[in-house]
Amino acid sequence: MELFPSSPKKYDVFVSYKGGDTQINFINNLNSALTQAGIKIYIDSALTEAANISGWYTRSNKNQSQVIEKMVGDVLEMLELRFPKELKSKDLSEKHFRSLKKVSVEGCTSLKEFALSSDKMESLELKNAGIEQLHSSIGLSSNLRYLNLEGLRFQNVPNELSSLTSLAELRISDCKELVLEKQKLQALFDGLRSLRLLHLKDCSNLLELPENISVLSKLCELRLDGSGVETLPESIKHLSLLEILSLENCLNLRQLPELPTTIKELTAANCKSLVTVPTLKTLATMMTGREKFVSFENCTKLDGSSLCRIAEGAELSSMNAAFQNVFVRSKGASGASCHNYNFVKVCSPGSRVPEQFTYRSRESSFKVKIPSHSNILGMVLSVLISPSEGIKNHGARIFCQCYDADGRKVGYATRWFHEATKDLKGDHVFVWYDALHFDSIVKSLEEQEIIFEFFVANELGERDVLNVLPKECGVRLIFDSELHNLLRNLELDFESKWELGLRLGSELGLEMGSELRLELESQQHRPISMATERFYFNEDESDGLYNEEHVHQSERKGIHNIKMFSVEDMIVSMTSSNATRIKY
């Protein structure tokens, strides 16, 4: 009986082994059997004759250069070298492969220069290598889609990097010596228009991004954590696919521009110099199937008007999420998918639960009476938490559980975020809207009165470890009757507002009157400057209006009686520590 049946297909096998006994016994017999079956076998010295080698992987430190010299540049598809300490730059000096698709030299600390290229290269992993210089030949890998330069010691990015027109992911982080000048980035962005992910993290010498960042029209994720940027270009609002913007630990960041409506995750924690945040109402625009996560944790220098904008953005996002979830429930009456639901989670410094919350209490547990004959679409929750040693040492998770009058649980417990909060610098306000939590309550609701209990647990979810109670709690009910108010405040053009209103009105049985149509149309034609500009005046003087720069100058001089007003329906009373919204 034949060990291997004959086959018209041609096979090539490379055998790797150790020990002379293996060759004398097993390998010789295997060679004979494979040869009889018409399968060509390559052993050791026959490596250079291989015609179909698809990959090579090693952790060995022996004879790296000798083995690489034997590689056939026309056929090798994958080269992975993990932590070989003796690999030298000359081993990979200016080698060009025709078929190589994937290369990894992660952790090769002795490799000082990288000069390998390929016509078909798609992935290049250089993380934590000892590379001090990228050779200009990298520009020859025109099909490269993934490039990781994290932890390298190089000082400059070669100009040829802009030739990588197919590059979709570029990761640069913890490159302490790298200098990324604005002009250099401008040239890179012009060439890298296929980027979907861009990381420029922990690059302290990165001070400014160019205005032409808007040419990265496919960009979905931008992470600048730990960089030295002081502001972002105004053109960032034109990145119509951007969903994730992370600015954590950007210690020099002073202000944010208007952001794209597509943002679903905005992290600006520990931005200690951040003073000004624009309207976040734009983030409420696109909500279908999204979770909006916004964190300004430990941004302790945010001015009063910015804190108001954050609170207003959180409220509008929660309202729109609740209304958009009407469509989710309608489509999934037989079981709506939680992946299509909209959720909102916002954190910022503050001293009170936002005034938009109808029910507020200094107690951690209180009753909320549900109005009869009302159509509730959602519940927004909020707590005010102070820092403590327990939170710092064990982390804090914020929960809310509802009960009926007899103490029975109603629905399941909801939490602000899946990760624990630890190092808080001052009081913080946490706001969240959980659609699934609301659904679980509505299904179990038999009474018109619910008890809301808020509590803080440690990272493991244990309540009794921290002994921490919220300073203030709040509940805000969202009703279908707020549809008109939602449409007035959404940053949409008239046609989009009216279409959304008609669809929601049809689902909820609400009419869209002609007066509302005229009002929304008038908003469309209102001059942008009148709709968004904010003006200031000093109560103690009568020398005209101030702009924001005048306000900052006055506050530095100790003048705090500055009032702000806009054509929008509100006046904000600014002091050195907080802001109060007054409707007129």
d(CA 102, CA 145): 10
d(CA 159, CA 138): 10
Give the pLDDT of residue 419. Answer: 82
d(CA 100, CA 120): 6
Collapsed DSSP state (helix, strand, coil) of residue 479 = strand
d(CA 231, CA 246): 13
Q: Which residue has the tokens 């699934």?
A: 436
Is 395 in contact with 418 (CB distance < 8 Å)?
Answer: no
Number of H helices, E strands in the chain: 12, 30
* Extended strands (E) in 458-520: 472-479
Q: At what angle do helices 494-508 and 514-525 cross, to 10 degrees?
A: 150
308 sits in which H/E element: helix 304-331
d(CA 485, CA 242): 28
**Residue 389 corresponds to which tokens in the numbers above?**
């040693």
Q: Which residue has the tokens 């600006």?
A: 268
Q: What is the DSSP code (8-state) at residue 96?
A: E
Question: Comparing C-alpha atoms, which of 115, 166, 121, 122 is closest to residue 138?
Answer: 115
What Rg do the C-alpha atoms of the chain give, in angstroms? Answer: 31
Task: Give the contacts of 429 (CB within 8 A, at least 6 positions apart).
Answer: 311, 347, 348, 349, 350, 352, 353, 354, 382, 383, 384
Amino acid letter, residue 94 = E
The percent of the chain in helix, strand and coil, each rounded to the nearest 5, is: 30, 25, 45
Q: What is the DSSP code (8-state) at residue 396?
A: B
Would you give per-residue pLDDT tens digits along the chain (584 residues)?
Answer: 343 344 444 445 666 555 555 555 666 777 777 777 666 665 643 333 333 344 545 554 445 544 554 444 555 677 776 555 555 555 555 667 777 888 888 888 888 888 887 888 899 999 998 888 888 888 888 899 999 999 988 888 888 999 999 999 999 999 888 888 899 999 999 999 999 999 999 998 899 999 999 999 999 999 999 999 999 999 999 999 999 999 999 999 999 999 999 999 999 999 999 999 999 999 998 876 678 999 999 999 999 999 999 999 999 999 999 999 998 888 764 454 555 788 999 999 999 999 999 999 999 999 998 877 678 999 999 999 999 988 988 889 999 999 988 899 999 999 998 788 888 999 999 999 999 999 888 876 666 789 999 999 988 888 877 888 999 999 999 999 999 999 999 989 999 999 999 999 999 999 888 888 888 888 776 544 333 444 444 444 444 444 444 444 444 444 444 444 443 333 333 333 333 333 32
Residues 294, 299, 302, 307, CA torsion sign: positive
